[in-house]
A and B are shown apart, each in its own frame.
Chain A
Amino acid sequence: MTDTPLIIVYIFLFPGFLFLLAYAMLFEFLDRRIAARMQHRVGPPLFQPFADFVKMLGKEVIDPQGVDRPVFDAAPVIALAAVMTAFLYIPVVSASPLAFQGDLVLVLYLMALPTIILFVMGWLSRNIYSAIGGIRTVTQMFIYEVPFFLALLTPALMAGTWSISEIVSWQQDHLWFMVLQPIGFVVALIGLQAKLERTPFDIPEAETELVAGPWTELTGRRLALMHLASDVSCVTGCALIAALFLGGPTIPWTIAPVWLGWICGFFLFLAKTLVVLLILSSVKVATGRIRIDQLNTIGWKYIASAALVQVAVVLVMNSIRVGA
């Protein structure tokens, strides 16, 4: 898997960008459909996200007065690019060929980029709603980012490596981290729900208070790209948690022909990410939005301390194993 044409295919075609875009739109469709079915509604058809995306591309682009166009145009593209590259390091078929020591940290950094860009867009669009929305985005980020990182780094601590693919292979012959570190799994889910700004934590984009938060002034292709970026970050986040806590796309027993193993791994990957999405969507439907100061108290009092407890437990288990 090391010769370049295969890698180019890997990056652009199969588990890379093309597949990722299609899968992101499928995710948005499933998310809206699950939410609708739980609210006793029919929900949108399969091609709806694609239709929305193309329609938004076709709309007129309005620049608010006094905004500097280049940054306003470039920001959504950077957000989308950051999140799509993050997906490359997550094992989809089996170990990802681009893996290296420390790609977990790189993925976490790239996943944090869209939130900052959302703040920049809000601040740039010179509109009171988006400014306050942007400030709320950043305040919310400070609250959930620390526990989210802690929860995602504890598997690396236990597995002793910083590469996602090696963590996945470590889980093959040990238990899944969901079983070993249940608290970490829950904190990671809450962190991801907050990062994707979904209902219990969609404070910046609170449709009823600030018109649309940082998204207010986005029109046309900027809105399309930013919307796609949030979908792709949803896929990347779910895939990351599936890889770190649910054992990723590997099967314990080896299957003779290699390509059959890949296919089973791929289906396992699909199944696990959809399970994570199901959890997130049902949480989104079942709760209302909480206020930013309530999120602050809950975030630091319970979620952060839970993450720290998890880290302590892992350190103790490490020392015992190293000792024994």
Chain B
Amino acid sequence: MPEVIVPIGPQHPALKEPVNFRVIADGEKIVRLELDISYTHRGIEKAAEQRTFIRALPLLERVCGICSHSHSTAFAKGVEELMQLTIPPRAQYIRTIIGELERMHSHLLWLGVAAHEIGFNTLFMWTWRDREAVQDTLEEMSGNRVHYGMNEVGGVRRDLTPSQVNAALQRLPNLEERITKYVDMVQNQETMLLRFRGIGKLTKEEVLKYGAVGPTARASGVDYDIRMDDPYLVYADVPWNVVTDTSGDVYGRTRVRIGELAESLKIVRSCLEHLPEGPIRVNPPKTAPKGEILSRYEAPRGELVHFIRTNGTDRVERVDIRTPTLANWTSVAACLVNQNLADIPVIVAAIDPCLSCTSRITIVDKGDGNTGIVTWDELRRRSRLRDRRQEGA
């Protein structure tokens, strides 16, 4: 079967966002993959440099639709630290609540899309139906289903009234029961196991070598979680633990994400119950002193990093956003070689790509995953080498 070049995307039903795969497949086996993702590059960093802090937040929130609160919290947290400004505890609790609710709706969304990738539409419908409960809570608290606009340099813009708090608390038990249902459904649903187990396997060393982050890394036993490593907001004094798995394939990532779903629910419940009284924002100084900081935040997809540099004016001199999906693309390319054509959407969906975050890179995958065009037969030799190694191992 001669090599067939299959262009998938940028307009493709499997990918909710524009990414272009040029897959060179030998029959059903993938030999080579070129990934071009920069369709959603809009030049946000240049625009952020021209805007004051107040106006930069709405822009930075719209880097990505699903993890919008992550971006605005990472930015606000970084600028506040540069200004040596501590925000009131109530504001920190509210930010954590919204952040964890966003993680819940993002993981439920992912679980549905992953099931849709393998054609299992029932789970797609069920998970998104439960996600609506989380969306209602978010809409009550912040007024918008997606871009919440809760953050501001110096605190939070809207307070949580007691009625909102116990309305949210009433929805949690039903969600909890649904999550336990999904846990056992993923474990013994025959076709899901067939399509998820053993696909896109990453060992612990490969994860560290390719720099994978978030649930993708935690599924192979690497326990990097910024909320535990570099605790910010109230994660230090709320009881929760990092969810890891050892199987390292798409099945492991599914279990990690559902585990994190349950953890987030626990965090939200304890935050809602111990919401301290007090003001919700502090008036920030007009300008930020000269300095730079690496503000790290655990977004639903992994470790989000904002490198913020200020130069004493009321604007930011430089914002360098490195999104979690950008770090995951190398590991995707590495574990896609020698897989089946039918597995591309499942493996790509496994890292839960948020392309509007990434909008960065094209990588040409080779056998061992570092970038660069390589001659055709050298690639063949590498993949055969890799097969022999796998047989040997």
Contact = CB atoms under 8 A, between A and B. Distances in A.
Nearest to A203: B342
A128 B7 contact: yes
Given A209-B342, A289-B118, A41 B125 contact: yes
Contacts of A128: 4-7
Interface in A47-70: none
Contacts, number: 76
A208 interface: yes
Given A39-B125, A291-B342, A293-B340, A199 B28 contact: no
B115 A288 contact: yes
Contacts of A202: 119
B191 interface: yes
Interface of A: 35, 38-41, 128-129, 132, 199-200, 202-203, 206-209, 211, 285-294
Given A202-B119, A289-B119, A208 B345 contact: yes
B119 A199 contact: yes
B340 A290 contact: no
B25 to A, nearest CB: 9
Nearest to B125: A39
B122 A38 contact: yes
A40 B117 contact: no
Nearest to A205: B119
Nearest to B118: A288
Interface residues of B, number: 32
A128 B341 CA distance: 13
A293 B195 CA distance: 11
Contact of A208 (B5, B14, B340): B14
Interface of B: 4-8, 12-14, 28, 115-122, 125-126, 129, 189-192, 194-195, 340-345
B191 A287 contact: yes
A291 B192 CA distance: 11
Contacts of A289: 118-120, 191, 195
A285 B119 contact: no
B107 to A, nearest CB: 19
A241 to B, nearest CB: 23
A209 B345 contact: yes
Nearest 9 pairs of A and B residues by beta carbon = A288-B120, A289-B119, A208-B14, A39-B125, A288-B191, A288-B118, A287-B191, A291-B342, A208-B345
Contacts of B8: 209
Contacts of B343: 291
Contacts of B119: 199, 202, 206-208, 288-289
Contacts of A207: 13-14, 119
Contacts of A211: 12-13
A39 B116 CA distance: 13
Given A209-B345, A291-B342, A40 B116 contact: no
